[in-house]
A = this chain, B = another copy of it.
């Protein structure tokens, strides 16, 4: 792997250091570079100070072949990336006529007036190759300098992704013609990281040097990532498949999917295979289950809808939950969750109904039913299964975990 192309991703902006925005760019860039066989060796974030930017550029020059810089290209005063790039390369700013035409067109198309600040976005370091941004007003720029490639991109995720996908990734591939890195992800649920490791120890020790294994624990499961490096795409794919075939007999009962599979996409495939439809009744998850189900393109083929029944009135009127049950054992109970799952199945006329009801927090807990007490249920034409979850005290985490456990219960029940 020492001869692979090395990349450093540099993010510029105080707002990232101070935690005031969520950085989704660098994860996306990491995935895309890995896919074309470029190895990310470092990610760095610095603030909007010229010296900090110069420092990281000098360092990155020493450890990477390509440096991807995002952020600091907006029209306003706190954005100093371009000036600092000029200092770093020892060049001046030059008005780029193509860039100016693109910015002008952008404003004309939207019927909005242009300011001097916007016109300034067409001024580029003299050694920049201008890369057209059809999705915004900040320029894409490509530099070659002392045997390294530097790419400068706006930080707005949509613009960055569009520019990378349509302009820079093809150009990088052509420029470096990198060796191939292939990944295979095995998704497991129901077994802890250390037990999984002990179970597959012999197989892991026998992996060839060009295939590496990593354990990625997350909510509700551990993902095993195999990474193979080489020059023959088909051979690497075959080798990875062989390794998966080798480990599968040892851990089959814990494996629920591969690679980009998600609980929601797998459940969706199983529903489609059976020709079944699905509906949801959500109380404590407040729409999160439905949102995850419908994040899958084409989910309208099996998901017909849901009732978010935050109040008891809605549970009674829309789902047919018995007022008596609510009065005697309460909304967070096995009786209620069963009626919710079966009720939404009936009300929305689907084959399967799923449901959540619990105390997400931070308020609403009692000594009897503390925050984190959650019931989930899955009702199919033949059977209703319920499960009690005992979660923690954090609202967001409780909503997220409940959603994951419910989708896993759905998957298990569809599997038979």
Contacts and interface: CB of A to CB of B under 8 A. Distances in A.
B75 A194 contact: yes
B78 A214 contact: yes
A44 B166 CA distance: 28
A239 interface: no
Contacts of A318: 305, 307, 318, 347-348
A21 B76 contact: no
A339 interface: no
Contacts of A349: 313, 317
A228 to B, nearest CB: 13
Contacts of A309: 305
A301 to B, nearest CB: 10
Contacts of A28: 19
A17 B44 contact: no
Interface in A353-372: 361-364
Interface stretch (A81-89, A230-238, A290-298): A290-298
Interface string A386-411: 00000010111101000000000000
A313 to B, nearest CB: 7
Contacts of A47: 41
Contact of A363 (B21, B29, B298): B298
Main secondary structure of the interface of A (DSSP, over half): mixed
Nearest to A198: B115
A106 to B, nearest CB: 12
A32 interface: yes
A42 B31 contact: no
Contact of A214 (B24, B48, B290, B394): B48
A371 to B, nearest CB: 11
A216 B286 contact: no
A382 interface: no
Interface in A300-324: 300, 303-311, 313-314, 317-318
A11 to B, nearest CB: 8
A123 to B, nearest CB: 15
Contacts of A282: 287, 290
Nearest to A155: B217
A202 B41 CA distance: 44
A16 B43 contact: yes
Contacts of A185: 20
A142 interface: no
Given A117-B197, A158-B397, A23 B27 contact: yes
Nearest to A306: B308
Contacts of A23: 23, 26-27
A217 B158 CA distance: 12
Contacts of A18: 30-31, 34, 40, 183, 227
Instruction: For the complex of A and B, list the 6 residue pairs with the smallest distance between their C-beta atoms, beginning with the closest.
Output: A286-B294, A287-B290, A19-B30, A19-B31, A287-B287, A287-B291
28 contacts: A14-B227, A16-B43, A20-B30, A20-B31, A22-B27, A23-B27, A42-B44, A42-B46, A48-B214, A75-B197, A77-B213, A112-B192, A115-B195, A158-B397, A286-B291, A286-B293, A287-B293, A288-B291, A294-B399, A298-B363, A299-B310, A300-B364, A303-B310, A305-B309, A305-B310, A307-B318, A317-B348, A318-B318
